[in-house]
A and B are shown apart, each in its own frame.
Chain A
Amino acid sequence: MEGVHQRMEKTSKFKILIADDSPVSRRILEAFLAKRDYDVISVADGEEALQVLSRDDAPRLAVLDWMMPGLEGTRVCRKLREQTEDKPYVYVLLLTARTEKADLLKGLDSGADDYITKPFDPPELLARLSVGRRILDLQDKLIAARDELRFRASHDALTGVSNRAVILETLHREQSRQEREGGSFGIIMVDLDHFKNVNDTYGHLCGDAVLQETSKIMQASLRPYDVVGRYGGEEFLIVVPRSDAPSAQRVAERIRKAIAAKPILTPAGEISVTASFGVAASTDAARMEPQHLLQMADDALYRAKQNGRNRSELAPASPLPEAVPQASNSE
């Protein structure tokens, strides 16, 4: 038997897999579909079919012959449906000479979406394939809508960074990781300086532009595994995994300089913006609960404001005594 015949063609064509052990039947189907602008991948047995369908760029439409040596079409279906659910759905059409009702039910029960009897009737095959494509198209739209909703549920609408719930969740996750694996991590509390003035002087549109631009600068200054979220109005929280206090402060300084480096372009013209940073870290020597860590970072941020703004302050290395934290101040 021949191996996999693949036609590498423009990606605009709809990919389809054909599995049939008979070279003649396979060739007929292949020629027929290729003329209909399908990008045909054809294989001679069930194992190969499953292999192709498990690839990352797998076709999402498959015509499987029921009777094949090795893995039958129905078994390919079963195995396919057992695979992880985050793979794109494959619409399967069983090709069968069996016309007994019990057989057809068995075929559909195996996870096939539809069946067509051989020798196939060309218009019927095309019609059934277009049903499949309609369903796949519908699924794509639903997935896109779901992804969009997921994004909106986890991100801040204005700035596109994580929202408050997600950044706090990230902080708790990082703490759990530390409990399991040890090591340290840092957090940075960021607050834009005199942001109220921007809003009052230039209006909210400009304020929004400033928030958007500074968010971009922060994101650009972070490593891929650092996460920034909008914590409050003009306040951001950054979680810096696998970092001790000095390296978290280096991250803060990098962002501070980037923000202060050049004015931000807004609808009202260029506005110079700076930000203040409070940095705290939870280390193996001094592990801290998220709430406590937030408190420390907030206190450090308060000191940064007190000491003239456009600067970063590091929380003291040893944790505060148990009862103390209550002097919460953000400006």
Chain B
Amino acid sequence: MKTEARDAQSSPFTSDDASDSVLDVAQALERMEGDRELLEELAHLFTDEWPKSASEIDAAFNAGDTTLLERFAHGLKGAAANVGAGRLSTAASEMEKLARAGNLKTLPAQWEIVKEEAATLFEEFERLYRKASR
């Protein structure tokens, strides 16, 4: 896999250290026992799932359903952490907290942040896996 400058500085052992990284491949690989194919598969899975998740979150916003938002944010937090997407995971975690507090005022702004982080992550995936897979 292509090297990444960020990998070197974050410890592969704890997820907290990776929370400021868009994509910590080393840490994700550690979790996947060095299975690069699996990581790539998950990146695709994550990317493919995204439009559906995003539209579900939008629908939850329209319905003003904070319980549902909390659940989605929660799931996103976990999935992002699993693929080593620290920043997205942190943003989703923040969104989960706001949703749990029922804070509909600040939630939309946080959702925008989450979407930006996701977009950045997908660019990273694209950069990593486009060459590798073609």
Binding site for B on A (CB under 8 A): 21-25, 27-28, 31-32, 35, 67, 69, 97, 118-119, 122
A32 to B38 alpha-carbon distance, docked (Å):
10
Report the stretch among B79-87, B111-119, B125-133 that lies at the interface: B79-87
A35 to B33 alpha-carbon distance, docked (Å):
10
Q: Which residues of B contact A67 (CB under 8 A)?
A: 71, 74-75
A97: contacting residue among B42, B46, B74, B83, CB under 8 A = B74
> Which residues of B88-129 have CB atoms within 8 Å of chain A's CB atoms?
none
B45: contacting residue among A21, A23, A69, A97, CB under 8 A = A23
A24 and B46 in contact, given A31-B35, A97-B78, A119-B31 (Cβ under 8 angstroms): yes
A35 to B77 alpha-carbon distance, docked (Å):
25
- How far in angstroms is the closest Cβ of chain B from A195? 70
Q: Which residues of A contact B33 (CB under 8 A)?
A: 32, 35, 122
Q: Say yes or no: B41 contacts A22, CB within 8 Å.
A: no
A118 to B93 alpha-carbon distance, docked (Å):
13
Tell me which of A23, A24, A25, A31 has the highest count of chain B C-beta atoms within 10 A of its own C-beta: A24
Q: Which residues of B contact A31 (CB under 8 A)?
A: 32, 35, 38
- How far in angstroms is the closest Cβ of chain A from B77? 7
B46, closest chain A residue (CB): A24
A31 to B45 alpha-carbon distance, docked (Å):
14
> Which residues of B52-88 have CB atoms within 8 Å of chain A's CB atoms?
71, 74-75, 77-79, 81-83
With A97-B77, A97-B78 already in contact, 15 other A-B pairs whose C-beta atoms are closer than 8 Å: A22-B78, A23-B45, A24-B46, A24-B49, A24-B83, A25-B82, A27-B41, A27-B45, A67-B71, A67-B74, A118-B81, A119-B15, A119-B81, A119-B82, A122-B33
A-B contacts at CB below 8 angstroms, number: 48
Q: Which residues of B contact A69 (CB under 8 A)?
A: 71
B81, closest chain A residue (CB): A119
A32 to B33 alpha-carbon distance, docked (Å):
8
- 3 nearest CB pairs, A to B: A24-B79, A22-B79, A22-B75
- How far in angstroms is the closest Cβ of chain A from B49? 6
A24 to B38 alpha-carbon distance, docked (Å):
10
Give 11 pairs: A residue, B residue, CB < 8 Å, sorted on A. Answer: A27-B42, A28-B31, A28-B42, A31-B32, A31-B35, A35-B33, A67-B75, A69-B71, A97-B78, A122-B31, A122-B33
Q: Which residues of A contact B82 (CB under 8 A)?
A: 24-25, 28, 119
- How far in angstroms is the closest Cβ of chain B from A259? 66
Q: Which residues of B contact A28 (CB under 8 A)?
A: 31-32, 38, 42, 82
A31, closest chain B residue (CB): B38
- How far in angstroms is the closest Cβ of chain A from B129? 15
Q: Which residues of B contact A35 (CB under 8 A)?
A: 33
- How far in angstroms is the closest Cβ of chain B from A122? 7
A24 to B78 alpha-carbon distance, docked (Å):
9
- How far in angstroms is the closest Cβ of chain B from A120? 9
A28, closest chain B residue (CB): B82
A69 to B53 alpha-carbon distance, docked (Å):
13
Q: Say yes or no: B79 contacts A25, CB within 8 Å.
A: yes
A48 to B39 alpha-carbon distance, docked (Å):
26
Q: Which residues of B contact A25 (CB under 8 A)?
A: 75, 78-79, 82
A281 to B49 alpha-carbon distance, docked (Å):
72
Q: Which residues of A contact B79 (CB under 8 A)?
A: 22, 24-25
Q: Say yes or no: A24 contacts B45, CB within 8 Å.
A: yes
B78: contacting residue among A32, A119, A122, CB under 8 A = A119
A31 to B74 alpha-carbon distance, docked (Å):
22
A115 to B74 alpha-carbon distance, docked (Å):
18
- How far in angstroms is the closest Cβ of chain B from A170? 57
Tell me which of B46, B74, B75, B83 has the highest count of chain A C-beta atoms within 10 A of its own C-beta: B75
A122 to B71 alpha-carbon distance, docked (Å):
24
- How far in angstroms is the closest Cβ of chain B from A1? 9
- How far in angstroms is the closest Cβ of chain A from B32? 7
B75, closest chain A residue (CB): A22
A86 to B75 alpha-carbon distance, docked (Å):
36
- How far in angstroms is the closest Cβ of chain A from B64? 18
